[in-house]
Homo-oligomer: A and B are copies of this chain.
Amino acid sequence: MASRVGRYTIKLESCPAVKGYAGVAGKKEGEGPLAEAFDYIYEDDTCGEKTWEKAESRMQKDTLTRALVKANITPTTVDMVFAGDLLNQCIGSNYGLREFGIPFIGLFGACSTMAESIALASLAVDTGCANVAAAITSSHFCAAERQFRYPLEYGGQRTPTAQWTVTGSGAAIIAKEGDGPFIKEVTFGKIVDMGIKDMNNMGAAMAPAAAETIKSYFDDTGLDPDSFDLIITGDLGFIGSRLTSELLEKENIKLKNFTDCGILIYDRKAQDVHAGGSGCGCSALVMCTHIFNNMRAGNFKEVLFVGTGALMSPTSVQQGESIPSIAHLVHISSTK
């Protein structure tokens, strides 16, 4: 049974378990520093499909299948799947998950989707709405580029603040019991818009949302950064992470053991990704492989995962709007 803590945080009394998880990656991500942790690396970014969008759906299908196998359950035992992605009308999820026959709750949280979906799936299990729930999202560099920016063939120059959309997907199966890690608290964020209009500097747009949600969580719980051996955002990249630290320092919160999924996923020098990785698939892939593996191994015990999303569209930006952002937080522990 969930209970509210302070103004924004919800405590999950039963501490639902991540019973199984998986992450699949594109070719570039498979050449990066976390490659060993990935469940599968595609030979090329078509994933054997005819279009980039179908490739993204294929990744969700493959990821959920692998997570179910690792959780040792069939789709018929999953009561709900919470999913969304960056593509218009979330077609990555809609087409990727249509064959599973699992009640489907569609989300749109941009790059915060993995935190949003894990939070909702965990609450569903904690409160008895579901015995087993799944959380999944994805992104695909080529599908995102042509939808949000330019056709790949155009060869547009990327700015130094630009992040690289991860080709990848991650899924977590949440249940009452399992090997973990375990979900202890969640904090849903408010929409924050500080007036940033540069579509090539998402990190700066999202940093204030991350800082606000982290502050809300510490205010609500009375905890501080010392209580955590990892605070990980996704996906602020190098610029957004630094801004988040600076914003929180002004609030007398000094982050430690702090990193970002978009920093971890690529080798910055060797892979030419400018400000780091981004996209729903970035934090999904990093959390559902590298981080959860390390939590099960006891290398991280108390983790704050803060998923961040930029809630704009090309249309809203063309109409002169700034970029509203959001951050959802999940406190994950290696023990119940």
Contacts and interface: CB of A to CB of B under 8 A. Distances in A.
A89 interface: yes
Interface in A101-120: 101-110, 116, 120
Number of copies: 2
Contacts of A89: 86, 88, 108, 110, 311-313, 316
Contacts of A48: none
A316 B10 contact: no
Given A104-B188, A313-B87, A98 B2 contact: no
Contact of A315 (B53, B123, B312): B53
A193 B99 CA distance: 9
Interface in A288-302: none
Interface string A114-131: 001000100110011111
Given A129-B123, A319-B53, A312 B110 contact: no
B123 A311 contact: no
Given A120-B105, A127-B1, A316-B53, A90 B190 contact: no
A256 interface: no
Interface string A306-319: 00010111111001
A135 to B, nearest CB: 13
A127 B125 CA distance: 11
Contacts of A8: 79, 103
A316 B94 CA distance: 10
A106 B311 contact: yes
Q: Interface residue tally of chain A, by bracket?
A: 35 or more
Interface in A70-85: 79-80, 84
A24 to B, nearest CB: 21
A315 B91 contact: yes
A6 to B, nearest CB: 11
A116 B10 CA distance: 21
A84 B105 CA distance: 12
A51 interface: yes
Given A3-B128, A94-B311, A128-B4, A107 B108 contact: yes
Contacts of A102: 190
Contacts of A98: 191-193, 311, 324
A326 B104 contact: yes
Contacts of A188: 80, 103-105
21 contacts: A1-B1, A1-B127, A1-B128, A3-B128, A8-B103, A54-B319, A88-B314, A89-B108, A91-B312, A91-B313, A91-B316, A94-B316, A95-B316, A104-B188, A104-B189, A104-B191, A106-B109, A106-B116, A106-B311, A106-B326, A147-B315
Given A50-B319, A89-B313, A98-B192, 14 more contacts: A4-B79, A4-B128, A4-B129, A4-B130, A80-B188, A88-B313, A90-B108, A91-B312, A91-B316, A103-B189, A104-B188, A104-B190, A120-B120, A123-B124
Interface of A: 1-4, 8, 10, 50-51, 53-54, 79-80, 84, 86-91, 94-95, 97-98, 101-110, 116, 120, 123-124, 127-131, 147, 187-193, 309, 311-316, 319, 321, 324, 326
